[in-house]
Structure 1
Amino acid sequence: MKISNETKVGIITVLALALLFIGYNFLKGNDVFTNENEYYTDYDNVDGLTVSKPVVVNGYQIGRVSKLTLLDNGKIRTNFKIKKDYNIPSNTVATIVSADLLGSKAIVFELGNSKTMAKDGAPLLSDVQANLLEKVEPLQKKIENLVVKLDSVLSAVNSALDTEFQRDFKSSLRSISVSLKNMEKITTDVEGLMGTEKIRLARILQNLESITQNFKNNNEKINSILANLNNLSSDLSSTEIKATIDNANKAMQDVLAITDKINKGEGSVGLLLHDDKLYNNLNSATYEFDQLIKDVKERPGRYIRLSIFGKKDTK
């Protein structure tokens, strides 16, 4: 059977119209071949949101924005078409979020915890996430103010940094550099000294460890000694220390009085120390007595006579 050209043109026209209809509905967010539920909510501002923008849950697309309508109260009613495969709780919040840095928007469903599911055509709660640029703008203003203040501070500092100050500052930096070099040299010397004295330090540490161990092993003895010292201190504090001190002071005063008399030449000791004649006589007497003892030892017959059997003049 031969098809006429007119029939072919008609068929092509119908197919073109069908494709045009399907494409138009797809661009509007309507899926001709899929059954969908429709929900809506009202926003005060939908800047950047357009028809066919995606509706996502946790990053997964479940529908599209199907319609935007300006209401009499100035709000914008936004309709969503969601696939019937997904149940939407009645307390779900539809939030407008920024999809990219260019200002494009999307709808994010924050699923609620209600066990009652929203019916087809039911309203949802709405929310709008702050735009990234809106968040950055206050920070940008603060940064601009900070830059202005910093510029004024730097200008003031620059005016204060005259030639003399710069010269002194360079001199200070040079002194600091020299000090750091000296410190580095000292550190090197100390490291060398530590290297040469490493064995001695190890021995010292061993000795300290041994002493510490001995203290630990003799802890009970040390505690006993401290207790004895504490008891001795208590005993001493309970004795008549004041009376002892008074007696010591009185004895010291007596000694001072005796010393004063000796210094004044009173008494035998004082005369002996201050009278040269008495000293010389005593010295002469001592010398003569020494000579007498010596003569007695050498010639005892002159001083001692013995009479045996009644004889006389017998030495």
Structure 2
Amino acid sequence: MSNFKIELSNEVKVGLFAIVCGIVLYTGFNFLKGIDVFSDHHTYFIEYDKSPDLQVSNNVTINGVIVGRVSAIELLQNQNNVVRVTIDLKDNILIYTETIAFIADKGMLGDKQIILKTENKTTIAEPNATLKGDIEDGLFASLATKADPLMKSLEQTLDSVQMVLAGFRGTGERVNQMLDKTNSIMSKVDKGGIDQTLYNVKVMTANLKDASAELTPLLAKMDHLADSLNNAPLTQTVKNAQDVLANANRTLNAINDPNGSVGALLTQREMHDQLVSTMASMDSLLIDFKAHPKRYVHFSVFGKKDKAPKEDKKK
């Protein structure tokens, strides 16, 4: 039996070697990026207003687990420059229509990733579906947001410091003026005013000495007066005054008491009106008594009754 040998030319060998190298290179490159080229995957689309620093081959994670990668990023100019991101996920990963894809920081170096979050799991999204997209504030964005009011406060503080420094400048000028005036006064004093000042002080001291000698008897009298006040029966006097005030308060309370005569007269309007009416009646009676005394008093020497006045007879 004859042996069958296949002879390949050098060109064919080079071509086969190039194909094998290309396959190995493609497989190795995707393996290093965490992509399993031998497994099936599902494709989904996400639309963003912008995609800050997102790149092809960035990871897609759910709860920190890598479930896919970004396979394409394109700008849709016919849709108001919306950014469409294509992601490839493992075929065993379930995606829901309520899932939101957040572009978030991957670490401190500024790398990006897409985080899939689902709150309500109702309907499963089919492959090639379009998901909702959003952008999560990263560490630097949060720091910038918090630093903005801090910077405004710092600017206000610097403005206040500048105002204070400006006030200090004006104060320094006033201090310099005061120092100049002090130097001027001291120079005048040095020219001969010190001797006169010392002489005036000496005279003032002598006057104070004479005055203190005159004040000694006065102080002795004041001490005697203080002793007299200490020996005075002030306690008994104060007690007597308190008793007088207490009696006055009881008298006033009795007067203000509506159950008493004076209190009733002062506080009850009816008694006042009756008293006024009684006084008016007594006044009318006195007037009538003066005008017609015989109506009320009859004198008979012989035991006979006086005749009634003519006015009564007329009546």
**For the superposition of Structure 1 and Structure 2, which TM-score range results when normalised by the shorter chain?**
0.3 to 0.5
| TM-score, normalised via structure 1 length | 0.45
* TM-score computed with the length of structure 2 as normaliser: 0.45
